[in-house]
Amino acid sequence: MKIALALCLSIFLAFAQNMPKTEQLIVVTTKNWSTSNGTLQRYDKKGNRWHKTGKAISIKLGRNGIGWGRGLHSIPKDAKIIKKEGDGKAPAGIFTLKQAFGYKPFIVKYPYVVYKSTDHCVDDVNSKLYNKIVDSRKVKVDYKSKEHMKFPKDYYKYGIVVNHNHIDEAGAVKGAGSCIFIHIKKVPTAGCTVMNEKEMKEIIRWLDADKNPLLIQGTQELVKSLLMQIE
């Protein structure tokens, strides 16, 4: 028993050492793996303690709930629900956050990009550009399916790119899910986490790239275990 405990501890410590130090957390919790409703709470680290920032807000996420995504965590070998392309599930786990984005300039400290209607996020698993945000005018378009990063509805008027499955990076696993964002919407999604415009803008204003913000997302029980991996 002592040997097994020592082995588990060594694995945990090795994993924890690869976790970036963070002073900001966005924590999304759900009651179970199949619900499309959840609660988002922000946290700031002061000294060695975490403190809630702002009020908890009600959010929507994947219309079919959540499944293990690809991020900083390890997916358990016995995981029964793993996110796949087109499954209508939001990714569960620990994820870094990339740039915020929108339809027009927004003066904030956090990295922010204004996207055009010609900017696409590629969700075609047969494309070499899978899970990448590209300017369609500047690449060889080999995809048949994509997300427009700017379109008439206000869903992407403001948002944040979640680093799920190595978005905009090498290493994206084909079919493991793509184009995951935090953005504006009132109803469940294909896999993103959504809220109203006021809440979205408040989060973007709060984010500080120097504090290495992370998103932790999962059931209440899962989130408790994932938080143990955060310094």
pLDDT tens string 129-152: 999 999 999 999 999 999 999 999
User: What amino acid occupies position 138?
Assistant: K
The count of C-alpha atoms lying within 13 angstroms of the C-alpha of 229, restricted to the half-sphere facing its C-beta, is: 24
Mapped onto helix, strand or coil, the DSSP state of residue 129 is coil
Report residue 37 CA to chain centroid gap. Answer: 16
Task: Tell me the pLDDT tens digit for each residue of 63-117.
Answer: 999 999 999 999 999 999 999 999 999 999 999 999 999 999 999 999 999 999 9
CA 141, CA 146: separation in Å to the nearest integer? Answer: 11
Residue with tokens 């803008």: 201
Residue 106 pLDDT: 98
Helix/strand/coil for 108 = coil
In this prediction, residue 22 carries a pLDDT of 96
Domain ranges, ordered by start, for the chain: 2-227
Do the Cβ atoms of 100 and 111 come closer than 8 Å?
yes
